[in-house]
Amino acid sequence: MPVVRCTRCQTPYPQNETPYLCPKCGGVFDFDTPPVFDSQRVDRCCTGLWRYRSAFSLPANAPIISLGEGDTPLIPWMDKGDPVWLKLESLNPTGSYKDRGSAVLLSHLAARGVEEAVEDSSGNAGASFAAYAARAGVKARVFVPEAASGPKRGQIEAYGATLVRVPGPRSAAAAAVLQEVQHGAVYGSHAYLPFGLEGIATLAYELFEQLGQAPGTVIAPVGHGGLLVGVMRGFQALMNAHVIDHLPFFVGVQARACAPAWFASQHGIEAMDQVQEGSTIAEGVRVQHPVRAAAILDLFDRQSGKMVAIDEADIMPAYQELARGGVHVEPTSALVWAAYRQLREQMVNSGMIPGPIVLILSGAGLKYQSQIS
């Protein structure tokens, strides 16, 4: 079974406490191997994410915390005669893929007896955390940037969480929550705590079941990087179990206005600190210090993949194009459509982007306060 360890000093995650960083060296915790997938142990009686419980490294006493996440539709979208597959993660219970991580994370926290936790988010993770905390009976306080969209803020409060609006950029909300943590609050961070990554890996298992094969290419937005890391590990788990015989080509997408992981892929992980947090309509990926950027680059070294940055001017046209085809997602999700457009030109020229191509549409458009009406 995978073990959670400090990525710097290899110390295993403590049995009783819930630190968000390694108490010994300040390193980030992560699983030391991909999940262990066994198709014989998939619970066919169960629907959604929890049918893969055997692939989660949860203690035996961990409760199932579920709101019906997973089993999202995969629909074909014809583009100049070629099908592109859209994975509608926007149709998860709180409207984003984050629910896959939250279900497993809250199960983990509940198993440790956590009764109250703080979280910070640009919106989607906060809403998801609030909902699953409510389901798990955990009292939640969620810190968001003051500029986070109104529907996301309202959603967090509707689930009964205490909403704390922090003036300034996304990083200011992160700094504010850390002050609470220094005063003893449990940080139920979707970004730092790795437990939810095994929930996100179920995207890979589902995609295999829906397509009947591994995709040729998977394109996903990158904020902290948990979505892409989770999916890449999920496919690695399928490879390790000999369920598939090749890995997809992975594409991570950021908004150029705030693209630290893209910059690091070009100039090395040490260069990431040079990147500024510019303003972007793709608020879900406005993350100046992605916790999983190093993991993404490490996976790119061992699997095949690349980062792409999208100009701000290309985001709204992608949003509108999807919406006018009946698929209303938030601008952050439209990044992947813009990236597909960019890559398709390269594909025509070089044939380097193999099919079937899957775009992961991470969040619902109803969360977005439309500026085009």
Residue numbers at the binding site for Zn ion (CB under 5 A): 6, 8-9, 11, 22, 24-25, 27
Closest CB 269 distance from Zn ion, rounded Å: 17
Over the range 273-283, which residues count as b (16 or more CB within 10 Å of their CB) and which as e?
eebebeebbbb
Nearer to Zn ion, 9 or 352 (CB): 9
Closest CB 301 distance from Zn ion, rounded Å: 22
Alpha-carbon span 301 to 299, nearest angstrom: 5
Nearer to Zn ion, 4 or 358 (CB): 4
Alpha-carbon span 373 to 370, nearest angstrom: 6
Closest CB 222 distance from Zn ion, rounded Å: 24
Closest CB 241 distance from Zn ion, rounded Å: 30
Closest CB 9 distance from Zn ion, rounded Å: 3
Nearer to Zn ion, 103 or 295 (CB): 295
Nearer to Zn ion, 1 or 25 (CB): 25
E strands, 176-298, are 217-221, 249-255
Whether residue 142 contacts residue 121, with contact meaning beta carbons closer than 8 Å, is answered with: yes
Which residues, in sequence order, are bridge partners of residue 118?
141, 187
Nearer to Zn ion, 2 or 70 (CB): 2
Nearest to 24, CA basis, from 41, 11, 36, 39 = 11
Nearest to 125, CA basis, from 183, 182, 175, 187 = 187
CA atoms within 13 A on the CB side of 82: 12
Nearer to Zn ion, 14 or 355 (CB): 14
286-to-258, 260, 303 alpha-carbon distances in Å: 6, 10, 26
Closest CB 310 distance from Zn ion, rounded Å: 35
